Every structure is written in C-alpha cells, then in structure tokens.
Amino acid sequence: MDNMQTPTSTTIPRIILASSSPRRQELLKGMGLTFEIVVSDVDEGVTPELTPPQIVEELALRKAEAVSGRFQSSPHDQETVVIGSDTIVVLEGQVLGKPVDEEDAFRMLSSLQGRTHEVYSGVACLRVNGSIREVRHRRTSVQMKPMDAGQIRRYIATGEPSDKAGSYGIQGIGATLIEGIEGDYFNVVGLPVSLLSDMLIPFGIMVL
Ligand SMILES: Cc1cn([C@H]2C[C@H](O)[C@@H](COP(=O)(O)OP(=O)(O)OP(=O)(O)O)O2)c(=O)[nH]c1=O
C-alpha cells in the first residue's frame, strides 16, 4: 500500500452535439463519448464568394454557435462543449448540398457518375463560456463509378439519397457506387472523427 497512488479524478465536460444527423450521432457514439443532442435549425445559406473550406467551417460554426447561445446564461454550463458540423460535395467548383426532391437527386447523381468529386466536412467545437473555439475542416476525394439512368433511378427509389449531401451515402447501399476514395472515409459520412479527437484535446477531452 506504501507507494500506491490514489487515482486523481478528472471531470469530463458536458458535450452537446448540435446535429440532427443520425450519422454524426453514431460516429460520436463510436468515439466512446457521452453526449446530448440539441438540433440547431440554422439557415444554411452562404454568400457565393466563399470557398468550400470556408463554407463548411462557417456552417459548422453557425450550428455550434446557435446551440451554444442557449446555454450561455447558466453558470452551471460554462465548461460545456458544443460540437457543430457541416458536409458538402463539390464537383468542379459546384457545390452540391442535400437534394430538394428526386429530380434534383437525379441531376446530382447524373453529374457525379463516372467522375471524381471532393467532399468537405467542417467541424466547430466551442466552449459555452467562449474561452475556447476550434474550427477546422477535412477534404476527401471520391471517385464514383459510371452509372446509367436506370441505376440512378433505382438508387433514388431506395430513399437513401434524400437527406444526404450530393444525394448519396457512402455508408449505405451507395457504397456499391463508389470506385475509391482518397482521404478520410468518416469525413464523407459527415464527421471526421480523427480530426475531431484532436480538436477536443484543448477542452480536456482525451478520446484515447
Ligand atoms: C456524402 C455523404 C453525405 N452524408 C450526409 C452527412 C450529413 O448528414 C448530410 C449533409 O448535410 P448537413 O447539412 O451537413 O447535415 P444535416 O442537415 O444532415 O445535419 P445537421 O445540420 O443537423 O448537423 O449528408 C452521408 O451520410 N453520407 C455521404 O456519403
């Protein structure tokens, strides 16, 4: 018993995920973190002169700030960390968000098939008291197989494209449409967990 040390207890700050995305929720869970979900509901409009990295960082920050604003007044919540994220698909400089309807999804998938595009995800981590603010992004290149109109229609009929940037989900049956990727897979799914784990260190959150 002589030189055994009592472990020092560390308090992990409360974590809020500012996202309605089931993918982001699953990925954050996969990092072994306990968190709550508060949906941001911000306007996702941006000025056209922003570059893709600026767009995803700006929107990730907007989502995190909108939620963080709801906790600021409580002294109890000052150490709370809010995480926001945003994902876009970019084909030859054109930004593709989520499709508004099936025709929009058809147009997006027709333009993506047989080509390589970029996926950008932005992540913002904020302490509610404003003392720490980390905003970063990652980019992944994705090469899609050539597809004919029938395949695209059948994919849309699965319902998978409807709530996803670029009208596809690499983590679902959409995986069968992908030739290959260069970069972080989880960035395409919507939350670059490796980047996020680094960003959480200044908040006193060590994933491993
Ligand atoms: C390209 C791609 C995107 N997506 C998803 C991730 C995001 O949920 C979505 C992009 O839309 P976002 O606006 O980034 O996120 P969201 O509206 O789903 O959720 P919130 O704003 O509340 O955080 O597309 C996939 O699930 N798989 C993919 O392969």
pTM for this model (two decimals) = 0.94
89 CB within 6 A, ligand 1: yes
Q: Are the C-beta atoms of residues 132 and 199 closer than 8 Å to each other?
A: no
Compute the distance from residue 76 Cα to the ligand 1 centre, in Å: 31
Local confidence pLDDT in tens for the 208 residues of the chain: 455 554 444 678 999 999 999 999 999 999 999 999 999 989 999 998 999 999 999 999 999 999 999 988 888 888 999 999 999 999 999 999 999 999 999 999 999 999 999 999 999 999 999 899 999 999 999 999 999 999 999 999 999 999 999 999 999 999 999 999 999 999 999 999 999 999 999 999 999 9
**Nearest atom in ligand 1 to 142's CA:** 1
Atom of ligand 1 nearest to the CA of 164: 24
Return the domain boundaries, the chain: 15-203
| The pair of three-digit structure tokens given for residue 95, joined into one six-digit string | 């930004």
Which is the catalytic residue, given 2, 41, 77, 86? 86
DSSP bridge pairs for 124: 84, 135
Q: Does any ligand 1 atom lie closer than 6 A to the CB of residue 164?
A: yes
CATH number corresponding to 15-203: 3.90.950.10
77/180 Cα distance (integer angstroms)? 43
Q: CA separation (Å) from 197 to 70, 98, 202?
A: 24, 26, 10
